[in-house]
Structure 1
């Protein structure tokens, strides 16, 4: 049986390597952090409304310094894929998810 990419033993080498490359591509001014404009622009290209991506940005900016650091981005990716806590900041990576009521 093949192991799952999101299993803890494979996660870093598979998913976080892609996350690191994505962060580098999104960091258009190459200052090592994601600013709100960079984050919102990426999600706008995917059809996600700016109000959702702006809210997600605020949630992922854990230290409230106005940027998403490399570590904050990696933490968000880990939460998005591995956390069962629907309120975890990383689970807002792409904005709100409509949950069945």
Structure 2
């Protein structure tokens, strides 16, 4: 059963992804999320579209229990309950998201790339200057793929409010 912290984390992400604020995640919400990201970049990017729409397909398959082609908050929570035993799935989504966030493909996500990722998710300008240093455990100003993977896992499957990964999508609502 999900904890209050996990519910808060998922609320932050779910609200950001629900572009039309209808209380459901649908394919059109992921199209809107993808379009926001591409608009921030100022260029079409087939890789971004492929990753984001692939994530929609995975989320739909894993959580749309009533097969109505939309995902409720409770359906997302049902998947979150299973994530601690699905390390490979969490790591695969982390790797996909890292690849998309790493705009210059240097194998690292810097503070600017991280801000772009968060602003794409949230759909609004977001101050990430206080959050990024908390995520950057070694203080080198960048997140490696392995650092990002750990943070991603802490966010989705963790239940420790003090863990830096709790902030991977920015401050909680």
Query: 1:56 Cα deviation (Å)?
Result: 2.4
Give the TM-score taking structure 2 as reference length: 0.49
SS in 2 for 1:34: strand
| Structure with greater helix share of residues | 2
Q: Which one has more relative contact order, counting CA pairs under 8 Å at least 6 apart?
A: 2
Unpaired runs of at least 5, structure 1: none
Q: Give me the whole-angstrom Cα distance separating, in 2, the residues matched to 1:48 and 1:19.
A: 22
Q: How does 1:4-83 map to 2 (within 5 A)?
A: 5-8=82-85, 10-12=86-88, 14-46=89-121, 47-51=123-127, 53-83=128-158
Give the TM-score taking structure 1 as reference length: 0.80
Q: Say which one has the larger Rg.
A: 2
Is the contact between residue 109 and residue 143 of structure 2 (CA under 8 Å) also seen in structure 1? yes
Q: Give me the whole-angstrom Cα distance separating, in 2, the residues matched to 1:41 and 1:21.
A: 16
Query: 1:55 Cα deviation (Å)?
Result: 2.4
- Aligned residue pairs total 93
Unpaired runs of at least 5, structure 2: 1-78
Q: Give me the whole-angstrom Cα distance separating, in 2, the residues matched to 1:40 and 1:54.
A: 8
Is the contact between residue 57 and residue 68 of structure 1 (CA under 8 Å) also seen in structure 2? no
Query: 1:48 Cα deviation (Å)?
Result: 4.9
Q: Give me the whole-angstrom Cα distance separating, in 2, the residues matched to 1:48 and 1:71.
A: 28
Structure 1 segments (4+ residues) deviating >6 Å:
none
Cα RMSD (Å): 1.8
